[in-house]
Structure 1
Amino acid sequence: MNWFPSMAKNSTSPLNKAARMLDLVPYLHAHQGIALETLAQNFGVTESEMNADLTTLWMCGLPGYTPLELIDLSFDSGFVTIRNAQTLENPRSLNKEEAIALLLGLDLVRSALSVEREDLITKIDQLSQRLRGLIGLQAHLKAEPAIDGSIRSTITKSIASGTSLDIRYHSLYADRISQRTILPIEWQNDAFHEYVFAYCDQAQSFRTFRLDRIQYANEGVKKLKAEKVSKMIESPARAYRIRIHSHLRAARELFEFEGDDKELHTGIEKEISSFTAEWMRRMIFSAGASVELLSPEAERADIVSSARALLALYEGK
């Protein structure tokens, strides 16, 4: 039985690995001598992944890294035992450097959360406030990565000239790096970050990209026509309604709709906006049987007809 089903989803992502190792210590303390195979099954990962987690955990502990300050693990025999994790329960005071490191880490975690996770954001803000009070720090610390000035310059030139760019973009929420061709339209700012509002060729729609998550930007190999995009801006987006039958998280990433993961369930219906019917057609086909287009009726009928024709070819009719 998988006691941690959420861990099985994208188990290799950094956030999931960190969460899993935090859960491992109390779990092992309560299940001394558990078989490695059983432990991996309970956490929804492979034995090799669990072995890698235990190896990392074996090098964790209190600062100083003397033998008495590390977690003492034994798992070479195929059975896992933890011996001195209880020492980590002892209260520990933080010096200023350690508190600042924690504040920066908390800010990175906060920036990776979606706005729907208001519960976690509130807890992080409360903990950060306590840490700042502990060391007498009045200012808010931001863990902002340095932005390559050449990327900003390249995007600014692209906006002025109306030329497309090839970018590599890191989506922290999906924990995924993707290659995209975009036509930048304008800069946007909020209190903390710079954004690029652009037409994305892969999405066949408009998207907003955070500047510090763009890893590189070069002149686009595929040329997007600024005139065509300008007409799309002037024309209203069409509304589409879909029903999700399975692979809920994959559908959310594919169609990029808003909402909390907790709200997702089989059969849920969502309103999606798109400027082109062709983009919606491609997305529905790529989702297979997991997503159904409900409306508009004309596009639904067209997809049904195409699907039947493809199925007939596959069956040799």
Structure 2
Amino acid sequence: MSSTDRVGRLLNLVPYLLARPGIPVEEAAGDLGVSDRQLRDDLELLWMCGLPGYGPGDLIDMALDGDRVTITYDAGIDRPLRLNQEEALALIVALRMLTETPGVGHREAIERALAKLESAAGEFAEAPVAVRLAGNADRLEEFRGVVQRGRALRITYYTATRDETTDRVVDPMRVLVVGGKAYLEAWCRRAEAVRMFRIDRIDAYTETEEAAAPPPQARPTDVSDGVFQPTPDLPLVQLRVGRSARWITEYYPCEEVQRERDHWLVSLRAADLGWARRLVLGLGPEVAVVAPPELVAVVGGEARAALDAYAAIPAAESTVH
């Protein structure tokens, strides 16, 4: 039996058992079309599955009373995997984005999964949705050509941490792919330092007649630990994080994670407090700011303003039909 078949069975096993507490293992195995031994192996695997954190209260839990099994914690898998049209299209778009992302491994597996999903979605998968990342393979080669020609560039660049677009002149040094994202590393004359520019955030560029000339102190960045490398001079942000937002501890480098009963206290460095503000507001009620005080004040003020704006909407206008 393939691993794909087993994953599909495991996704349906939890809601099946939730609907039948105390069912005999032998009866469940017969319903699912597997052997008693295979079902017991599946139950052993389920004990190691769950939510990020992977500790008590995160992993799927069950009670085995003799030959009877009961799920005591489902980790959110409380129904069989059934995708509606919007969910199927979202997955199709996400997989198409992965196939366009340079440096992504297991591309053949992604393409097989995409083909199966498109086949299952039928006509809906043919919706007029085209996916093309700005940092795809074609543009990657385009910027490699820029580096080889050795010309200074005038670029229009969007800086996500400050949510602003700037114009600057840079001296290209190299193009590289880190974590599936393509970057142009260059000496930035505005910052007077080496900077990594994400290619998908370069809105426009023009090659100048001037030769690229990074100064002697310009050195390639060590990206063995990732592009963003926190330093002690950056603002330290402390967040109280709920269960559904714990993924940020895997996505962003954290200095400390204190696992409390209902929440985690997470400490991380932010390149800019404006970036931290947008991160917290985007995560909603699952995250609360503990420090620094200025971030607490800004986020609290914006949250109250948003609530006041909702309260000002007349009841007739706020009704969704």
TM-score for both structures, normalised by structure 2: 0.35
Higher helix share: 1
Q: How high is the TM-score relative to the length of structure 1?
A: 0.35
